[in-house]
Amino acid sequence: MSAIAGILADRRYQVSGSDPRDNAVLQDLRSRGVRVFREQSAATIAAIRSGTAQAPLVVVSSAVPPSNPELQEARRVGLTILHRSDVLAALIAGQDSVAVAGSHGKTTTSSLVASLLHATDHDPTAVIGGIVPAFGSNGRNGAGALLVAEADESDGSLVKFQAWLGVITNLELDHTDHYPDLNALIATLQRFARRCGQLLANRDCPILREHFQARHWWSTTSAEGVDFAALADDLSGDSTLATFYEQGLPVGQFRLPLPGLHNLSNATAAMAVCRLHGVSFAELRRAVEGLQAPGRRFDFRGDWNGRLVVDDYAHHPSEVDATLATARLMVQTGRSPLPMAPQRLLAIFQPHRYSRTAEFLEPFARALSQADAVLLAPLYAAGEAPIPGISSEALAAALRRINPNLAVAVSSSLDDLAEAVANHSRPGDLVLAMGAGDVNGLWGRLQELEAPAALPLAA
């Protein structure tokens, strides 16, 4: 929502919004002329209407409930109400656009596409689901030919988009609150793909191989039978050296400063998009060296008494698995983009939604078992009603079944979680906090604590 608000403000629209919180994103919007109300009430709609002769459009996201007083007042007075995806669809239709979809990696991939275009002087417009380091924002109004958008599949609204190029990173069942099964998710993404002028897809994903007809494919496992590939020559905890291929032929080597095979796949897709847009490989090779992951993607928060604290948005078993595998690579190779190479991996995980936790309880447990110790935060409901038997305690029990020797503990609150980190971590630990809820507040709570006494975490 904030990315779209900023772009519309930069395009000289009058934009207003409301949020009871205050943060850097809202401060940035204010500096760009957006009027931000701190209370959500019917009076907000009256104030906005009184300031313009033209009836305002009201834009809502799927997170806004029907009971919201502003939404109720907008309906009462007969204002036109649009979903966020309707506005994004209009922006996408207004110029050549790249829409990046997929179960995992779409925020990172769309951020990398926008960053590479920016670094090679193609000045993109961008609407991304995370903060892009190159812009310091999740949205940007550029003067170049391309708009880069993250196409979220969680509510199915991406079928409205008609992009010059659609990108699908991978496909796996998620958002079980919206999709009854994998076939329903596949059907939605197929509708998205049909509306795009052309499709670029990940050949390494078996579901995409079986169910999609892409004009262009990429891979990080083989250069044969794909348009673009990047094969790793050296994998380490701080970077990946790889060779880029087009139509099966080697083009040249590049070094990606983002570790992990999942990031190599994201970067390969981003480079492929840029090559399809006409950016030379020589330009890309230089630009790739400066890439940074978007906010909350292995986001180093700081050194807390010798513990390296990292925040990550991983909230699906495959994402947790990839994030922990990258962290484990740092421990094993002694190389890391962090201030020092970690010696041990303390995983902190906050389950997100009862429906997702119920569907993936055992896969979550298998992914988390890579860590040296695990602390679980209370389950973040995201507005869902509880499901009997589904909780962080149930996930802990599954972890103990899979690995009885793994040290596992469950916290009753974020304050309790911070105390547990203080009591059961030690200098040299990588404290990796994962989840899509409020677990990203852990860093702030740790800073309020006294220096820790290192104690072993009981299994």
Positions marked active-site: 106-107, 150
- Tally of CB atoms within 10 A around 54: 7
Taking the C-alpha atoms of residue 193 and residue 165, their distance in angstroms, rounded to an integer, is 9
Q: How far is residue 397 from each of residues 229, 230, 371, measured CA to CA in Å?
A: 41, 40, 16
Tokens of 417: 């979680």
Taking the C-alpha atoms of residue 335 and residue 231, their distance in angstroms, rounded to an integer, is 20
3-state secondary structure at position 280 = coil
3-state secondary structure at position 47 = helix
Taking the C-alpha atoms of residue 440 and residue 224, their distance in angstroms, rounded to an integer, is 41
What is residue 227's DSSP assignment? S
Taking the C-alpha atoms of residue 418 and residue 413, their distance in angstroms, rounded to an integer, is 9
Helices (H) and strands (E) in the chain, counts: 16, 20
Taking the C-alpha atoms of residue 277 and residue 145, their distance in angstroms, rounded to an integer, is 10
Of the candidates 192, 212, 202, the one whose C-alpha atom is nearest the C-alpha of residue 170 is 202
Taking the C-alpha atoms of residue 423 and residue 407, their distance in angstroms, rounded to an integer, is 13
Task: Indicate if the alpha-carbon torsion angle 424, 429, 431, 432 is positive or negative.
Answer: negative
Taking the C-alpha atoms of residue 200 and residue 227, their distance in angstroms, rounded to an integer, is 9
Cβ(284)–Cβ(120) under 8 Å? Answer: yes
- Tally of CB atoms within 10 A around 182: 15
3-state secondary structure at position 40 = coil
Of the candidates 263, 377, 407, the one whose C-alpha atom is nearest the C-alpha of residue 325 is 263
Residue 261 CB contacts under 8 Å (≥ 6 apart), including other chains: 220, 232, 235, 240, 322, 325
Helices (H), 403-455: 414-424, 442-447
Tokens of 17: 């919004």
3-state secondary structure at position 395 = helix
What is residue 143's DSSP assignment? S
- Cross-strand partners of 433: 311, 348
